[in-house]
Structure 1
Amino acid sequence: MTKDKRTLIRPEGLPPTASWPVVTPIMPSVVYASETPDALDAQYEGRVAGYTYAREGHPNADVLARRIDAMEGASGGTVMGSGMAAVTAVMLGLLKAGDHVVGGDQLYGRSLRLMTQDLPRMGITTTLADPTDAQAMAAAIRPETRMILIELVSNPTLRVADLAGIAQVARDRGVLLVVDNTFTTPRAFRPFEHGADIVIHSVTKLLAGHSDVTLGYAVARDAALQKAIYDFAVTTGMTASPFDCWLAERGLATFDLRFDRAEANAAHLADHLAGLKGVKRVLYPLRADHPDSSRARAILGNRGCNMMSFELEGGRAAANAFAAAAEGIAFAPTLGDVGTTLSHPASSSHRALTSEGREALGIGEGFFRVSVGLEEPGALCDLFAHAAQASQG
């Protein structure tokens, strides 16, 4: 039967072509049509590949996930709507009431909130311990412990976890080890090669790299665990935008170049800041005065990454003066942009903690975290020197 053109409101696929696009097309379609109910059954049962409804997956998300899979030496990862969506899907997709989780005590602020406030409401108990001390992590494990969550390099004090020790503890005790690899990225470190069971990324940050994307990614070594993470993400609507996935894929094309330049700038800026008046301390993993420098070099080699932190003398007043004087540097609670960004954890990522809790972690009112970007290094150092001078009043 010839199709009646009066009913063809939607186009019938793409025009035929003997060539193909060099750039992945953006595919924003929410729904995908199938020939018959039997054909749809074949898709849902995994006998043929295909898309049905974008909440369950779409081409742009899968293209991006496969790119990150390759970087991490993984397969089957899932892209979600944010980094915290990835953290949440891993935890709530794999845990149940009565389970216990051990977390590093210097996780990202919202991860800490999830651990200390939200999971307990759901009957999942939590304990925070020092990830630089594998024995402290081991002592926090209980018979009902199901998972350990750490960041290899912590946010925002850049402490380096004893990953070898923690991985051994996790293996010995039959506990899943989850590593948030956002700060280090697979350019510097691949957690699966060091005993991790699950890897998480906030793709929003360094991987996408331009502050115009909000995405997350999670992948498990075990396919059954990955299916549980995926099912939870789909059920709760943690869908990634096709356009954001397309932007992130584009960002990955320059990722290695961006990472290397930002990393070199960070090492240079850290050394420069350490010699400025008014700067109490500087934290960068490869500096000899970093408390975990030996471990950082053993784990990361010469990869110090692009994040650094420093503390000013003078507390909040000095912090206000520094931020105001650092013209051209975005004062913003983010990281991984092409430009350098300045973050004040006490007023942003860790504001939910008490002042005593922040001080216990080494986060005072004069403490800043810096995501170093791609600027000319000499100009960047000059700007920070000017701001440090202004912070002294």
Structure 2
Amino acid sequence: MNIATQAAQIGLEWDTRTGAVTVPIYQTATFRHPGLGQSTGYDYSRSGNPTRQALEEGIARLDGGARGFAYASGMAAITNLLYLFGRGDHLVVTEDLYGGTCRLFDQLFSQFGLTFSYVDTSDLAAVREAIRPETKALFVESLTNPLLKVADIAALSDLCREKGVLHIVDNTFLTPYLLRPLDLGADITVYSATKYLAGHNDTVAGLAVVKDPQLAERVYFHQNSVGAVLGPQDSWLTIRGMKTLSVRLDRQQENAARIAAWLATHPQVRRIYYPGLPEHPGHALLARQARGFGAMVSFEVTERALVERLLLKTQVLSFAESLGGVETLITFPEGQTHADIPVEVRRRLGINEVLLRLSVGIEDAQDLIDDLDQAFKA
């Protein structure tokens, strides 16, 4: 069954008693037992809640995994996965990833004895060289944030199997609608479901999907023990958003392609990052492995003064953090999403004082282009 159909029907079968086509919100902390030593399958909402379970089963189906897990945020999801590792373990990580993930790794989990090496995960040879005897996992972003480099998920998964390490893919930018890393050999996918999956900038959520049932049991033990689970209301909102994932992303990708093509010829844009453009170094690879190129566009302007102008003079675009919603957002990575990364590292990676990032929404594409055009001229 097509992913678009699966997404639209998440939770449809859940309430067999009433036939409700929308899964109910089970807004309860605890569940009554039918008898001594008996359970309905639900005891306490940290351990399991029907609304959350509908979401978890839904994302597992979309990603082709054994089991899904819903968390209070994308960072909570990544945190829970890090409990798979212990003191002395080493992870190889995408170098230009979301700044909050870097902060989690370097400022929090490093104090528990985990070590991290940051490499260009679009370079298979660099990843191979970075793997050590103590390496336990490779953590990659399928499309990096904000420079939109493309990882060869299939080749990296083969390398991970060869080396006996887990392959974890943050697939937030592409979602299972466009890319299914587990089909390409990855072990775990993780999402900030706040973004494209929920899709309306009205809830914060994180999801993870595990391919192997035994590994999934370990992840559930950590989810239940730590308790950073997604509440039933936010689970329902995420399900609601996922039902329209395909139509939203189709429109967003179409808009992104038009905007990227326009920016690519603009005299005040010196560089553009969008894998849908044929000249992008990852274009051919993503065309083979994915169903589309996503709706994120990053670009460098020719001078620093243009940054403030575009952030503050656009009227349809909103100057805001986050991404993936129906509204188009414009972000300044150096001062917002990646501010926690040391400046010398940002400069080396290309996250500089003239880089802007667009999360393209579902508005009329010409309206978005006109808005950017008037801001450039303001």
TM-score for both structures, normalised by structure 2: 0.93
Output one character per residue of 1:316-361: Cα deviation in whole Å (capped at 9) or x when no partner: x321111111112111110011110111110111101222211111
Structure 2 partner of 1:319: 307
Supply the distance in 2 between the matched residues of 1:224 and 1:110 (Cα, whole angstroms).
29
Are the aligned partners of 1:277 and 1:389 in contact in 2 as well (CA < 8 Å)? Answer: no
Q: Which amino acid aligns with 1:60?
A: T
Shift of 1:205: 0.6
Structure 1 partner of 2:77: 86
Structure 2 partner of 1:60: 51
SS at match of 2:38: helix
Structure 1 partner of 2:201: 211
Are the aligned partners of 1:206 and 1:335 in contact in 2 as well (CA < 8 Å)? Answer: yes
Shift of 1:65: 1.1
- 344, 347, 357: which one aligns with 1:356: 344
Gaps of 5+ in 1: 1-16, 41-48
Q: Which amino acid aligns with 2:348?
A: A
Output one character per residue of 1:145-195: Cα deviation in whole Å (capped at 9) or x when no partner: 111000111011000013233112101100000011110111111001111
- Say if 2:304 is the partner of 1:305: no
Are the aligned partners of 1:276 and 1:388 in contact in 2 as well (CA < 8 Å)? Answer: no
Supply the distance in 2 between the matched residues of 1:116 and 1:132 (Cα, whole angstroms).
22
SS at match of 2:92: strand
Q: Which amino acid aligns with 1:84?
A: M
Supply the distance in 1 between the matched residues of 2:131 and 2:186 (Cα, whole angstroms).
17
Q: Which amino acid aligns with 2:148?
A: L
- Say if 2:365 is the partner of 1:380: no
Structure 1 partner of 2:169: 179
- 210, 218, 223: which one aligns with 1:228: 218
- Say if 2:60 is the partner of 1:69: yes
Shift of 1:212: 0.7
Output one character per residue of 1:195-220: Cα deviation in whole Å (capped at 9) or x when no partner: 10111111111011001111111121
- 142, 145, 151: which one aligns with 1:161: 151
- Say if 2:269 is the partner of 1:270: no
Are the aligned partners of 1:344 and 1:369 in contact in 2 as well (CA < 8 Å)? Answer: yes
SS at match of 1:38: coil
Are the aligned partners of 1:279 and 1:388 in contact in 2 as well (CA < 8 Å)? Answer: no
| CA distance 1:33–1:18, change in 2 (3 Å) | closer
- Say if 2:26 is the partner of 1:27: yes
SS at match of 2:334: helix
Gaps of 5+ in 2: 1-15
Structural RMSD (CA)? 1.4
Output one character per residue of 1:6-25: Cα deviation in whole Å (capped at 9) or x when no partner: xxxxxxxxxxx974222211
SS at match of 2:46: helix
Shift of 1:226: 1.4
- 100, 103, 108: which one aligns with 1:110: 100
- Say if 2:39 is the partner of 1:51: no
- Say if 2:35 is the partner of 1:36: yes
Q: Which amino acid aligns with 2:328?
A: T
Shift of 1:118: 1.8
Output one character per residue of 1:234-276: Cα deviation in whole Å (capped at 9) or x when no partner: 2222021110111111112211100100010000110011122
Shift of 1:32: 0.3
Total equivalences in the alignment? 363
Structure 1 partner of 2:12: none
Are the aligned partners of 2:59 and 2:209 in contact in 1 as well (CA < 8 Å)? Answer: no
Structure 1 partner of 2:7: none
Shift of 1:291: 2.6
| Bigger Rg, structure 1 or 2 | 1
Supply the distance in 1 between the matched residues of 2:203 and 2:184 (Cα, whole angstroms).
29
Supply the distance in 2 between the matched residues of 1:369 and 1:142 (Cα, whole angstroms).
34
Q: Which amino acid aligns with 1:307?
A: M
Supply the distance in 2 between the matched residues of 1:91 and 1:358 (Cα, whole angstroms).
24
Supply the distance in 2 between the matched residues of 1:195 and 1:21 (Cα, whole angstroms).
37
Structure 2 partner of 1:240: 230
Supply the distance in 1 between the matched residues of 2:328 and 2:115 (Cα, whole angstroms).
38
Moved over 3 A (4+): none
Structure 1 partner of 2:4: none
Structure 1 partner of 2:85: 95
SS at match of 2:162: helix
Shift of 1:63: 0.5
